[in-house]
Amino acid sequence: MNEQNDMSARFDEENVLRMLQEDDATQRRAFAMIVEEFGQQLYWQIRRLVLNHDDANDVLQETLIQAWKNIDYFRGESKLSTWLYRIAINQSLNFLNKQKAQQSISMDNEEASVANQLESDPYFDGEKAQRLLQQALTTLPDKQRLVFNLRYFDELTYTEISEIIGSSVGALKADYHLAVKKISKFFEDAD
């Protein structure tokens, strides 16, 4: 944890944003600093939505490409991390929608497919509780899964999630509560 605090202390968002307004070489250096600071967080946010390591890497690359292409449009009205999360979430949801459109399998086959995908993923440690949680998350509607991930795994406040998703705090609390109930039921049924 200390190492992460040290890294965060070294990342000066105002300075990085100033660097983005300078020449091309300085812009590239600033963007490299952004990738260094937020890349791992973005990867895990994406990974919890798309599940597969290779897919998460692809979506992360697309997220970073979109961020680079649109960095001039970042107005600083929110934190840089909020803006990046928003891009990552949109890219993840786009990926999931394309994947759903390509697959015309039944819900039962989809759940079995997810279970097989998790168990065969070399980056997944196979712990039963973790596998069950991931399976439970796949049964949630995308928005509930997204809210649960941001609140539970990333420990963001409802206000921060509201800025990222663009939904009211009350609606987010309801989504989180419903997600927790569905996950609990999934675990009860699995016993």
Does residue 109 belong to any structural domain of this protein? no
Radius of gyration of the chain (CA): 18
98/119 same-domain check:
no
**Owning domain of residue 171:** 114-191
95/152 same-domain check:
no
Does residue 166 belong to any structural domain of this protein? yes
How many structural domains compose the chain?
A: 2
Does residue 36 belong to any structural domain of this protein? yes
In tens digits, what is the pLDDT along the chain, a chain of 191 residues? 443 443 444 788 999 989 988 999 999 999 999 999 999 999 999 998 888 899 999 999 999 999 999 998 888 888 999 999 999 999 999 998 888 777 754 444 555 555 555 555 555 555 777 778 888 988 999 899 999 999 998 899 999 999 998 899 999 999 999 999 999 999 888 87
Does residue 126 belong to any structural domain of this protein? yes
Does residue 75 belong to any structural domain of this protein? yes
Does residue 33 belong to any structural domain of this protein? yes
Report the CATH number that the domain containing residue 23 is assigned in CATH.
1.10.1740.10
Closest CA to 91 of 115, 53, 126, 56: 56
Does residue 26 belong to any structural domain of this protein? yes
Concatenated DSSP letters for 61-122? HHHHHHHHHHGGG--SSS-HHHHHHHHHHHHHHHHHHHHHHH----HHHHHHHHHHHHHH-T
Residue 57 near residue 92, CB atoms below 8 Å: no
48/118 same-domain check:
no
Report the CATH number that the domain containing residue 123 is assigned in CATH.
1.10.10.10
Does residue 149 belong to any structural domain of this protein? yes
Residue 46 near residue 52, CB atoms below 8 Å: no
pLDDT for res 131: 77
137/166 same-domain check:
yes
95/187 same-domain check:
no
Tokens matching residue 23: 């020449």
